[in-house]
A and B are shown apart, each in its own frame.
Chain A
Amino acid sequence: MKKQGNRMKTLSRVLRSVGRYKPLFALSILLAALTAAGSLYVPILVGQTIDLMLGAGQVSLAEVTDSLARILAVVLLTGLTSWLHGMTNNRITYHVVCDVRCRAFRKLGRLPFSYLDKTTRGETVSRIVSDVDTFADGLLLGFSRLFTGIVTILGTLAFMLMLRPMIALLVVVITPLSLFAARFIASRTYRMFRAQAEVRAEETAFADEMISSRLVVTAYGMEKKNTERFSEINDRLTRHALRATFFSSLTNPVTRFVNSVVYAAVALAGALSVIATTGAAAPFTVGALTALLGYANQYTKPFNEISGVIAEFQNALACAARVFAFLDEAEETPDPADAAVLTAPRGEIELKDLSFSYTPDRPLLQKIDLHVKAGDRVAIVGPTGCGKTTLISLLMRFYDVTDGAVLIDGCDVQDLTRRSLRENIGMVLQDSWIRRATVRENIALGKPDATEAEILAAARAANCDGFIRRLPNGYDTLLPEDGGNLSQGQKQLLCIARLMLSKPKILILDEATSSIDTRTEMKIRSAFAALMQGRTTFIVAHRLSTVRDADHILVMRDGNIVEKGRHAELLQKGGFYAELCRSRYTEIN
């Protein structure tokens, strides 16, 4: 029953997401009613016309022509309303999909990194794309048929009640059996569809991972193993899909069977009434029975359609539930209502008794204190995996501190809007991220309104101009997802150009030049120096010269800052930093 409740909740949310389109919704219902009424009226008119053709020499051609003109008018009007009905439904459905998808996408921009880092990309893509699609298809089918069906049922019911109330009641009582059957099947298929959607997401995630890492896959000959693993997931998906598809397709035959029972019951009851009322004052005639049977048939057809829709709806609902679950994921704690906007900061940064861990059972950064004056250069060194990148994530508020605080110009970063905080910090990461866009757009990522001259200047400062000009269309070359054939170094240079263009007040360079050769680095060095002038800079680097001139050197080890000071002081101290430096010298000699 809890499951049932969840489904109702999903359904009511689906309806709420359609809420904006209430007028269209009302229009859709109106048009459905008109279409169904017209469709029911045509056979009556045709019947009346045929009644005019009693036999040879008994046909009034003039009356037939009049009657045919009426039929033509009704047919054309019904065609028009039916067309408008379809258009209205399309409009509702596609607008809802677009809205929901955009909401899901906006959600993507608000999810905390703790979610993004643990969820596979394929899984999320599957929710935003395929699930929203399936949910929409179900809606489209549902709208079109549900309203038409309901109106047809009501119309026919009225005609039947006029003919023979008792038998009409019999039909009314038996027919819902098909709805019960449909519901029974539907409640089982819902779970099957959900299982199917889950395995499908698993498969998409696996394929995504293996296709995007094609170089490693090829280098290590993982093809066969991947194919086996895919085959295993795919077999599971096929099994779930077969069950879901088959059981959901049972609805139609079963309801049709119930309908044939209804039909037999009407035939039996009707025929017996005809026999019983023979010679009575108001006999139930054969003609009336024929009409009643006709209507019974017509009455049950929409039930077929509706139960068919219910099956589609199950799939749509299962997908909708996944979409809503995604929309309900906890977001980054929102900026407080009175969050200050950081404008033109001096760049003074203080870490106060800061602690952080990704999971409570594994403490990482502990009780870190640091005061950085505006314009200072801070170098962070230490073995890999000691928490350097984590510390930087905290400055950017990709993660929030577990304890203590990060202060900028004396203001806790948690009291600032994230947007303004990040706008004032520029970052180049070790992993360069290039998007599918032109080179120009890639550079102007942080400053979309940059002028041509600014973009060119930034590209020159980052020493990208040369290779960009050699690309097929220069700055207008469309780079594919992930940068395509650009080398890692070239990608990194483009990321540096982004920074050179946006020129924020605080800089974070996390191994920003790790893929760039030193000669090129020399060339961009003066541009970097100019950029860092007057800007507070955090540098994660292995290269000593970068570190040596820094105003603060933080030496990290296992999540803690073990030493802190200037190059000379630390060397003199003869601690961990001195050891790191020595290993550099032995290498040379």
Chain B
Amino acid sequence: MKHVFSHLRPYVRETVLAPLLKMSEALLELLVPLVVAAIVDRGIAAHDRGYVLGMALLLVLLGVVGLGFSVTAQFFAARAAVGFAGRVRFALFQKTQTLPVPELDRLGTSTLITRMSADVDRAQSGVNMVLRLLLRSPFVVFGAMVMAYIVDVPSGVIFTVAIAALSAVVFLIMLVTMPLHRRLQGRLDRVVGLTRENIGGARVIRAFGREEDERRAFAEESRLLRSLQLLVGRISAILNPLTVVMLNFAVIVLLEKGAIRVDSGRLTQGEMIALYNYMTQILVELIKLADLIVTLTRAIASGKRIDSVLASDASLARLSDAEPDRSTSEHIVFSDVSMTYPGASASALTGITLSVKRGETVGIIGGTGSGKSSLVSLIAHFYDPSAGSVLIDGVDTRAYPTELLRSRIGFVLQRSVLFTGTIRENLLVGNPDARDEDLLLAVHAAQADDVLAAKGGLDGAVSQGGKNLSGGQRQRLAIARALVRRPEILILDDSSSALDYATDARLRAALGELSGEMTILVISQRTVALSSADRIFVLEDGELVGEGTHAELLSGCDVYREIHESQSDGDGREGGAR
């Protein structure tokens, strides 16, 4: 768990001072019996009321100093634990922002969220408790054992055996419950997953009248979680009674052996009382320790889950940086590129070779699942090709500085995602330095003027995922967002599917005017939407099966012709409709 623990490093001072102060407080507590002894031996014996009063005040003073120690200790412990948790949460989020897309896909959002919240909370209380009790409890336990040896060596041996046996039991129970706690968190992940799904899919679930089934599924999952919690609880519930019984058993042995030794004169009654008191002190600490152990076990299980995310160093392949040549006319080149998604059995793209010239507008067309989206996501280096290479500005994407590469691409995804905030904030995502005029120009080109009008201008509110906008409004704002960056490559991944024809046509006209130096890749399913493209690539089952202009493909590419015909009327007059 080195990744998690490294975040405690800035709090070295606190992690050392807190336990030390706690220990000092415990030492002060050990002084109290001595003061009481002095009251009895000197104050009462001499009938000295003033002395008794003085000693009573000393007890209060010890309390005050102890309070000071312990408040400071609590503060240090809280600061270290909370600060540590904050840093871990931050590190986790940062990880989600640096890990490549395939790795995030693999981990899944739900589990990342629970790790960032519930698991970090557990780790935080673990650190807090450890700092408060770590030194105190063992200090008291071993102190009592040492005192026992000083009083009577054979009795000290009983202490040693008892403590060893107790440690073994505690350790064993920790060992058994640790993996169970991890499984527990895994089950919790499922509960989170179901909850998220039911919020995201509320419309579909209610449309199918599935609320009851969902409720049952959730109840089932909650019950599974509960039975695992009960199992872990059952094992943990043994800890406290068992250790107390064992300790009391040690007391019985102590008394039994002690009785013989007192009888033979090797031990006094007073020493017997002292030994028993030391054993009781251990008992009190042990009860606290048992709580600590449960918290600690959970904290360690959570720590391991956090660590597995922090330890992930998955990254996209990197070659040594190369200088992109922006004057080359071959803007985008794929040479023999294949790609397989992690965990998939078949490849999404196979042996793709193509090139796009600077300033060209090209179309990409193909059936559902033919690899269109995969192809464009390679341009922005979301994924690594599993074979071949993708060159932008003459440089392999793996050698192109990632940030620079992506800053030159305007990507409009198939499913347009907007973020909570205002329209302006959403557009500024494209280019944080853009002025309002630039934003309005982009909005205009994206045919989104009416969206602005309807939502109250640039300051209009956008709710999570843009749910307060229609699909078409979202898409147009997403296009505006891409245009705001003034990209060198504009990728429209079926971005106008939610637009009606009139809007779509105006959008394409506006883009045509804008294009100039901009290279545009348009994924579409309608041949008519691509007919004005300089060139069109036709994909089928991950392979490139055609390349050329609309007219060339109509005569030379069967797949393209079929697609076109599927969109034409019987009389061939109206291409594009079903």
Q: A304 to chain B: closest CB distance in Å?
A: 11
- Chain A residue numbers with a CB within 8 Å of B117 are 126, 129-130, 200, 203-204
Q: A536 to chain B: closest CB distance in Å?
A: 16
* 7 A-B contact pairs sorted by A residue (CB < 8 Å): A78-B245, A227-B94, A267-B39, A267-B56, A493-B368, A542-B500, A587-B505
Are A61 and B240 CB-contacts (below 8 A) given A76-B245, A214-B101, A518-B567? no
Q: B59 is contacted by which of A97, A263, A480, A587 (Cβ under 8 Å)?
A: A263
Q: A442 to chain B: closest CB distance in Å?
A: 10
Query: Is there contact, CB below 8 Å, between A588 and B500?
Result: no
- Chain A residue numbers with a CB within 8 Å of B85 are 238, 241
Interface segment among B144-152, B251-259, B330-338: the answer is B251-259
- Cβ proximity bits B5-24 to A, threshold 8 Å, 1 near / 0 not: 00000000000000000000
Interface segment among B163-171, B320-328, B389-397, B468-476: the answer is B468-476
Query: Is there contact, CB below 8 Å, between B368 and A433?
Result: no
Interface segment among A5-13, A21-29, A167-175, A272-280: the answer is A272-280
Query: Is there contact, CB below 8 Å, between A419 and B259?
Result: no
Query: Is there contact, CB below 8 Å, between A72 and B56?
Result: no
Query: Is there contact, CB below 8 Å, between B248 and A430?
Result: no
Interface segment among B134-142, B173-181, B459-467: the answer is B459-467
- Cβ proximity bits B181-225 to A, threshold 8 Å, 1 near / 0 not: 000000010011111111111111111111101110011001101
Query: Is there contact, CB below 8 Å, between B86 and A253?
Result: no
- Chain A residue numbers with a CB within 8 Å of B226 are 94-95, 97-98
Q: Does B260 contact A (CB under 8 A)?
A: yes
Q: Does A213 contact B (CB under 8 A)?
A: yes
Closest A residue, CB atoms, query B468: A117
Q: Does B369 contact A (CB under 8 A)?
A: yes
- Chain B residue numbers with a CB within 8 Å of A436 are 193, 197
- Chain A residue numbers with a CB within 8 Å of B244 are 75, 78-79, 82
Query: Is there contact, CB below 8 Å, between B280 and A249?
Result: no
Closest B residue, CB atoms, query A100: B222
**Residues 529 to 578 of chain B near chain A (Cβ within 8 Å):** 562-563, 566-567, 569, 573-578
Closest B residue, CB atoms, query A216: B417
Interface size on B, residues (CB 8 A): 189
Query: Is there contact, CB below 8 Å, between A265 and B56?
Result: yes
Are A293 and B36 CB-contacts (below 8 A) given A264-B59, A546-B578? yes
Query: Is there contact, CB below 8 Å, between A249 and B74?
Result: yes
- Chain A residue numbers with a CB within 8 Å of B200 are 121, 433, 482
Q: Does B302 contact A (CB under 8 A)?
A: no
Are A71 and B252 CB-contacts (below 8 A) given A204-B113, A488-B415, A542-B501? yes
- Cβ proximity bits A300-321 to B, threshold 8 Å, 1 near / 0 not: 0000000000000000000000
Query: Is there contact, CB below 8 Å, between B109 and A50?
Result: no
- Chain A residue numbers with a CB within 8 Å of B108 are 480-481
CA distance A429 to B194 in the complex (A): 21
CA distance A551 to B572 in the complex (A): 23
Query: Is there contact, CB below 8 Å, between A384 and B472?
Result: yes
- Cβ proximity bits A493-517 to B, threshold 8 Å, 1 near / 0 not: 1010010001000000001001111
- Cβ proximity bits A415-452 to B, threshold 8 Å, 1 near / 0 not: 00011101101110111010110000000011010000
Are A422 and B367 CB-contacts (below 8 A) given A238-B82, A448-B213? no
Q: Does A369 contact B (CB under 8 A)?
A: no
Closest A residue, CB atoms, query B106: A480
Are A249 and B78 CB-contacts (below 8 A) given A231-B90, A398-B206? yes
CA distance A487 to B336 in the complex (A): 22
Query: Is there contact, CB below 8 Å, between A215 and B128?
Result: no
Interface size on A, residues (CB 8 A): 184
Q: Does B444 contact A (CB under 8 A)?
A: no
Query: Is there contact, CB below 8 Å, between A425 and B193?
Result: no
Query: Is there contact, CB below 8 Å, between A515 and B494?
Result: yes
- Chain A residue numbers with a CB within 8 Å of B432 are 225
Q: A246 is contacted by which of B74, B373, B377, B475 (Cβ under 8 Å)?
A: B74
Query: Is there contact, CB below 8 Å, between A87 and B473?
Result: no
Query: Is there contact, CB below 8 Å, between A61 and B260?
Result: yes
Q: B208 is contacted by which of A278, A446, A586 (Cβ under 8 Å)?
A: A446
Are A79 and B467 CB-contacts (below 8 A) given A94-B233, A102-B218, A245-B82? no
CA distance A195 to B333 in the complex (A): 54
**Residues 255 to 269 of chain B near chain A (Cβ within 8 Å):** 255-256, 258-260, 262-265, 268-269
CA distance A80 to B573 in the complex (A): 88
Q: B395 to chain A: closest CB distance in Å?
A: 18
Q: Does A4 contact B (CB under 8 A)?
A: no
Max chain A C-beta neighbours (<10 A), residue from B204, B242, B343: B204
Max chain A C-beta neighbours (<10 A), residue from B128, B194, B219, B501: B501
Query: Is there contact, CB below 8 Å, between B198 and A108?
Result: yes
- Chain A residue numbers with a CB within 8 Å of B278 are none
Q: Does B350 contact A (CB under 8 A)?
A: no
Q: Does A42 contact B (CB under 8 A)?
A: yes
Closest A residue, CB atoms, query B472: A384
Are A260 and B566 CB-contacts (below 8 A) given A242-B83, A272-B52, A384-B499? no
Query: Is there contact, CB below 8 Å, between A518 and B566?
Result: yes
CA distance A587 to B203 in the complex (A): 36
Max chain B C-beta neighbours (<10 A), residue from A105, A492, A586: A105
Query: Is there contact, CB below 8 Å, between A46 and B197?
Result: no
Q: A419 to chain B: closest CB distance in Å?
A: 5
Q: Does A250 contact B (CB under 8 A)?
A: yes
Q: Does B312 contact A (CB under 8 A)?
A: no
Q: B44 to chain A: closest CB distance in Å?
A: 5
Query: Is there contact, CB below 8 Å, between A256 and B471?
Result: no
CA distance A416 to B133 in the complex (A): 62
Query: Is there contact, CB below 8 Å, between B230 and A91?
Result: yes
CA distance A53 to B267 in the complex (A): 10
Query: Is there contact, CB below 8 Å, between A234 and B86?
Result: yes
Q: A109 is contacted by which of B193, B214, B502 (Cβ under 8 Å)?
A: B214
- Chain A residue numbers with a CB within 8 Å of B367 are 489, 517, 519-520
CA distance A263 to B411 in the complex (A): 73
Q: Does A572 contact B (CB under 8 A)?
A: no
